[in-house]
Amino acid sequence: MEGRVLSIQSHVAFGYVGGKAAAFPLQCLGYDVDLVNTVNFSNHAGYGRSGGSKTSAAELESIFQAMEFNELLRPTRVLTGYIPDAEALSAVARLVEKLRKQNPELIYLLDPVMGDAGRLYVSADVIPVYRSLLPLSTIITPNWFEVETLTGISLTDLHSLRLALTKLHKDFGVPNVAISSIPLTQWLSETLPNAIRPPTVSESEHLLCITSSVSNENSPSDVHAQCVPLLPGYFSGVGDLFSSLVLAHYNSSLESSLPDVEVPPFRTSLSEAVSQALTKTHAVLCKTFEYSERLPEEERLVTDDEKDAVEPIRKVRRMRGRELRLVQSIDIIRSDFGDATRRLERWSGFWENL
């Protein structure tokens, strides 16, 4: 793979979230990566305490202008992640719009990092700016909460999921949507084809990944999905890793991202890329979880808000042990999983009975 990625997202000195989780996989897969940091923190927020600063819009503009003056803004792909406020996000939006005009073939993956589990962790004024960015994107990788936030539609049944995808495609002009994770609740499980639905285990133990791609605005989108087991514990940087792998494996020519593999006519470049990303992300998570389980007992104490408040180092040690084992997963990142790939399957009948 060849290309140059401009990555605009958070940076931490310790651990693997934001650009630290994205750059290494992209580089392992053959991409040059230019990093612009939207924050510079000691560690991610899950530790409970951190030091550092946010990059202001003026500072971002200064970086972009200098790169442009020195003829260093030459990406073939752009990846944006965590951007904490509307002013900084607007500066990024202006840059992406300029790059898109200069190169209409530019591949732009927008990860609208806003929150999870029903809670925003950015300023609410970024929401309209993100909506204005959607038409510039090639791919977006929101989680279920971010889909709800962008569309204003609560995902409570198949009808609302259809409405949300339709709004993203038709109203916001997004050609490729990859919902990185959505809890496999009962309504969702009951609507899945047998090829996608997990065996007779508790649905609460699985997450669903969904892709939706449009090639013709007059036709329904092509929807694929796959389930993955939910690992216990809290891990950060997973979405950042997933998005970087989607971008790395995405091939807009609709050819397979794997050599000598013919893509069946019902598969899309997005479903192939997300299959690779989902497989590798889950494998990295499994390696991280296995490592955390082997740590001394004092570094893997269960979450207890009261005890963590009295003794903050409990939480710090727990978070430290759950940092992604990214460097140790270089073989996973570079692997061709072949038949072991968690391949997304076509969601037959998704648009039926409208």
pLDDT in tens, 35-93: 999 999 999 999 999 999 999 999 999 999 999 999 999 999 999 999 999 999 999 99
Say which of 85, 157, 222, 240 is annotated catalytic.
Answer: 240
Rounded distance, CA 54 to CA 88, Å?
A: 9
Query: Cβ of 91: how many Cβ atoms within 10 Å?
Result: 23
Specify whether the CB–CB gap between 233 and 299 falls below 8 A.
no
The class that CATH gives domain 4-346 is alpha beta
Tokens representing 136 are 């510039």
At residue 236, the pLDDT reads: 95
d(CA 36, CA 25): 17
Give the count of beta carbons closer than 10 Å to the beta carbon of residue 117.
Answer: 8
Task: Specify the pLDDT at position 96.
Answer: 98
Q: What is the pLDDT of residue 26?
A: 97
As a whole number of angstroms, the distance between CA 303 and CA 284 comes to 22
Decide if 304 is catalytic.
no
**pLDDT value at residue 97:** 97
> Hey, how many other C-beta atoms are within 10 angstroms of the C-beta on 293?
11
pLDDT at 112: 97
The three-class DSSP label of residue 222 is strand
Residue 265 pLDDT: 42
pLDDT for residue 214: 94
Residues of the chain whose pLDDT is less than 50? 255-267
Whole-number pLDDT of residue 2 = 66
- Residue 11's SS3 state is strand
Task: Cite the DSSP H helix spans in 167-237.
Answer: 186-191
Residue 7: other Cβ atoms inside 10 A = 27
Q: Say which DSSP state 197 is in.
A: S
Separation between Cα atoms, residue 159 and residue 214, nearest integer Å:
18
Inter-CA distances, 18 with 9, 26, 28, 253, 325, Å:
6, 13, 16, 28, 15
Domain map of the chain by residue range?
A: 4-346
Q: Are 82 and 38 in contact (CB under 8 A)?
A: yes
